[in-house]
C-alpha cells in the first residue's frame, strides 16, 4: 500500500470511529421530546377495538392465548371462529368446529364472541347450523375456501344472513396462480377460493348482504383487491393478517373510504394493531377502523357490544 492511500484510509477509519461515537451524543440530544414507550402503549390501549377476524385451533394454543393478546393490546372483544381448513368439511366437521367455539365463548363470555362456520355444499345442515349457533349467541359467519362466495350454493346462506342482518366473513385470495387469477402461474391450491371479482359479483347480486373480505394483510395483492372492491359498498375490507406493509391501511381507506375498513387480526396481533396505529390517518378514521365500523354492523342485527 502506498503511503498516500495508507494515510487516507487511516484518516477515514478514524473519522468513522469518531462519527460512530458522535452519532450517539448528537442523536440523544435531538430526540428529547417524542413520546416514550409508556405514552405509545397508552395510545394503543386508548382505542377501543373489536377484532373482526380471529381464529381458534390454527395452532396448539387454546383460547387463553387469544385472550392474553386481547388484554395486552386492549382488544375489547374478539369475534372468533374455527373454519374447517382441510378435508371435505362435512356437517360433522363444521358442527364440531363450532362446538369448540361455543365452549370458548362460555369460558370467556366477556371477551370472545363466536362466528360460526359451515359448508354451503350441505345446504340443509348449513341452515340448521346457522339457527343453532345464532341461538347460542354467535353473531357472524366465517367461511373458508370450499365454495366460492358467488356460487349459487351460497345463495340460501346469504339470504338467511340478510334476514338476520349478519355479516359473512369470507377467506379471499388475490395471488398469482390461485382460484382463477393469472393461472399461468398455477399453484395448484385452493381452486374454489374467492377472488375480489367473486366478491364483487356476490355483492351486486345481494346488495342487502354484508360481506367481509378477508384479508388484505393475509398475503394477497392488497392494491389489486382494494381497487377492485371500490364500487361494492356492501363489501367491508378487513386489514388482518401477518403482513403489516406500510401504506396498506391508508391505501384501503383511499380506495373504499374509512367506513368500510375493519380491524381484524387473524391472530397476528402485533401487526394488525401496529399498522393502524402507525397509519397516516386521522383520529376519527382510526376509531372507525378499530371499533365503530364493526360496531355499526353488529347493531344492524341487534348484536351489541358494551
Partner 1 sequence: MLIDINAYTGHWPFKQLRDNHCEGLLGRMKEYGVDLSVVTNLNGIFYKNTQSANEELYEEVRSKRAYRDRFLPFAIINPIYAGWKADFLTCVKDFGMKGIRVFPNYHDYTIDDPALLDLVKMARDHDVPVALTMRVVDSRQRSWMDLAAEWAMKDYVPLVQAVPDAKYMMLNLSTGMALSAEQETVLKNANVLFDTSGRHITHFANVYRRFGKEKFAFGSHFPVFDYYTGLLRIESLRPEEAEEADRALFCSGNARRFLKV
Binding site for partner 1 (CB under 8 A): 8-9, 12-13, 15-16, 19-24, 26-28, 30-31, 34-37, 40-41, 44, 65, 72-73, 174-176, 182, 185, 219-223, 242-248, 250, 267-268, 270-271, 273-275, 277-280
Closest distance between partner 1 and the C-beta of residue 23, in Å? 6
Closest distance between partner 1 and the C-beta of residue 35, in Å? 7
Extract the runs of DSSP E, i.e. beta strands, from 35-111: 50-55, 77-81
d(CA 292, CA 74): 15
Return all residues near 185 (Cβ < 8 A) that are at least 6 apart: 176, 177
The CA–CA distances, whole Å, from 197 to 154, 169, 214, 226, 227 equal 16, 16, 13, 11, 11
d(CA 206, CA 80): 25
| Of residues 246 and 296, the one with the C-beta less far from partner 1 | 246
| Of residues 36 and 87, the one with the C-beta less far from partner 1 | 36
Asked whether 211 and 168 are in contact (CB, 8 A), the reply is yes
d(CA 172, CA 204): 17
Closest distance between partner 1 and the C-beta of residue 278, in Å? 4
Closest distance between partner 1 and the C-beta of residue 150, in Å? 22
| DSSP code, position 195 | P
d(CA 194, CA 173): 6
| Of residues 36 and 135, the one with the C-beta less far from partner 1 | 36
Asked whether 133 and 84 are in contact (CB, 8 A), the reply is no
Closest distance between partner 1 and the C-beta of residue 58, in Å? 11
| Of residues 26 and 296, the one with the C-beta less far from partner 1 | 26
| Of residues 93 and 221, the one with the C-beta less far from partner 1 | 221
d(CA 171, CA 243): 15
| Of residues 127 and 277, the one with the C-beta less far from partner 1 | 277
Closest distance between partner 1 and the C-beta of residue 219, in Å? 3
Amino acid at each position: 500500500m502506498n503511503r498516500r492511500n495508507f494515510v487516507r484510509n487511516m484518516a477515514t477509519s478514524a473519522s468513522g470511529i469518531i462519527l460512530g461515537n458522535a452519532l450517539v451524543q448528537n442523536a440523544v440530544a435531538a430526540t428529547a421530546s417524542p413520546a416514550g414507550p409508556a405514552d405509545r402503549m397508552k395510545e394503543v390501549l386508548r382505542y377501543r377495538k373489536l377484532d373482526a377476524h380471529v381464529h381458534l385451533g390454527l395452532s396448539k394454543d387454546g383460547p387463553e392465548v387469544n385472550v392474553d393478546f386481547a388484554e395486552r393490546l386492549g382488544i375489547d372483544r374478539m369475534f372468533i371462529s374455527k373454519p374447517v381448513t382441510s378435508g371435505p368439511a362435512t356437517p360433522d366437521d363444521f358442527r364440531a368446529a363450532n362446538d369448540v367455539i361455543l365452549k370458548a365463548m362460555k369460558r370467556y363470555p366477556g371477551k370472545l364472541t363466536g362466528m360460526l362456520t359451515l359448508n354451503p355444499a350441505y345446504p340443509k345442515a348449513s341452515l340448521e347450523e346457522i339457527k343453532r349457533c345464532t341461538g347460542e349467541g354467535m353473531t357472524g359467519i366465517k367461511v373458508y375456501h370450499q365454495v366460492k362466495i358467488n356460487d349459487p350454493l351460497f345463495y340460501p346462506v346469504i339470504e338467511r344472513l340478510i334476514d338476520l342482518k349478519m355479516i359473512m366473513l369470507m377467506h379471499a385470495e388475490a395471488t398469482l396462480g390461485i382460484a382463477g387469477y393469472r393461472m399461468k402461474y398455477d399453484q395448484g391450491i385452493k381452486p374454489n377460493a374467492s377472488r375480489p371479482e367473486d366478491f364483487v359479483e356476490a355483492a351486486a347480486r345481494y346488495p342487502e348482504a354484508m360481506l367481509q373480505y378477508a384479508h388484505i394483510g393475509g398475503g394477497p395483492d392488497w392494491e389489486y383487491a382494494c381497487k377492485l372492491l371500490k364500487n361494492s359498498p356492501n363489501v367491508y375490507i378487513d386489514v388482518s393478517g401477518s403482513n403489516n406493509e406500510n401504506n396498506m391501511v391508508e391505501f384501503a381507506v383511499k380506495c373504499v373510504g374509512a367506513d368500510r375498513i375493519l380491524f381484524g387480526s387473524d391472530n397476528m396481533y402485533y401487526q394488525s394493531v401496529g399498522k393502524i396505529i402507525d397509519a397516516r390517518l386521522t383520529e376519527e378514521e382510526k376509531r372507525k377502523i378499530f371499533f365503530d365500523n364493526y360496531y355499526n354492523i353488529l347493531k344492524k342485527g341487534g348484536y351489541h357490544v358494551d
